[in-house]
Amino acid sequence: MKDKMKIAVIASGRGSNFMALVKACRKDGFPAGIALLITDNPDAGALESARKNGIESFVVDCGPGRGSMSAESSSEMRRLCVERGVELVCLAGFMRIVRGDLLDAYGGRMLNIHPALLPSFKGLHGQKQALDYGVRYSGCTVHFVDPGVDTGPIIIQKVVPVMQDDTEESLSERILVEEHKAYPEAVRLYAGGKLKIEGRRVLISYE
Ligand code: GAR
């Protein structure tokens, strides 16, 4: 992984975004490589994928709070990342709000992917929220993580139409196809030094 920015991926579930990043990182000239996968879920599909792909992985018990993480688990994740020289943390379907040491250490160096066009439909079940609201378009957002829930500066958004006969599943699938493009694109920009945060706005350098 010489000359590549080391990234850590944190995921709770299936891990399709993790795999999209794994595949992107293998491409010639991609400026980042995955140093480790961390999960809070011993049954996460992402864990199995990491093992199959020879990527170091850890299960960190984040405590009983649904949607939150214990202070100890945040410190432990920070330690795992810092010890390996991780420069960027990518949340990929991590179903807890990141607070504490991990965010303190990686503020401005942590990305998240959300399955809706923020600032609409924050939090859980972004796809269902969009469907229930009746919007004509939804999509996904890759953004920097700040102390709020899905509130950090936006890097990339991709839009999909909402069809009249969509179910939560069919809309989620359509959005997921775009997620798998958006996340590698955002990581490429970040690791290539192309992003600058100015207040709420993220400026992209195209030089
Ligand atoms: C993705 O749709 C991601 O956007 C969403 O969870 C799914 C994870 O899928 N994240 C959130 O809802 C975060 N609030 P994956 O495990 O296949 O990448």
pLDDT in tens, 15-60: 999 999 999 999 999 999 999 999 999 999 999 999 999 999 999 9
pLDDT of the residue at 68: 94
Q: Where are the domains of the chain?
A: 5-204
pLDDT of the residue at 33: 98
* Closest C-alpha to ligand 1, atom 3: 93
The residues, any chain, with a CB within 8 Å of residue 81's CB and separated by 6 or more, are 8, 36, 38, 89, 102, 105, 106
CATH number of 5-204: 3.40.50.170
Active site residue 114: yes
pLDDT of the residue at 102: 98
* Residue 101 reports pLDDT greater than 90: yes
* Residue 1 reports pLDDT greater than 80: no
Residue 139, token pair as written in the block: 């999509």
pTM of the model: 0.97
CA of 207 relative to ligand 1 center, distance in Å: 31
Of 101 and 3, more confident: 101
5: DSSP letter: E
pLDDT in tens, 63-95: 998 899 999 999 999 999 999 999 999 999 999
Q: Share the mean pLDDT of the chain.
A: 97
* Closest C-alpha to ligand 1, atom 10: 93
- Strands 110-114 and 137-144, how do they pair? antiparallel
pLDDT of the residue at 207: 78
Which residues sit with their C-beta closer than 6 Å to ligand 1?
11, 13-17, 92-93, 113-115, 126, 176, 179
Split at pLDDT 50, 70, 90, the class of 183 is very high
Percent of the chain scored above 70 by pLDDT?
100
* Residue 2 reports pLDDT greater than 80: no
For residue 32, count CB atoms less than 10 angstroms from its CB and return exposed for 0-12, middle for 13-18, buried for 19 or more.
Answer: buried
pLDDT in tens, 125-178: 999 999 999 999 999 999 999 999 999 999 999 999 999 999 999 999 999 999
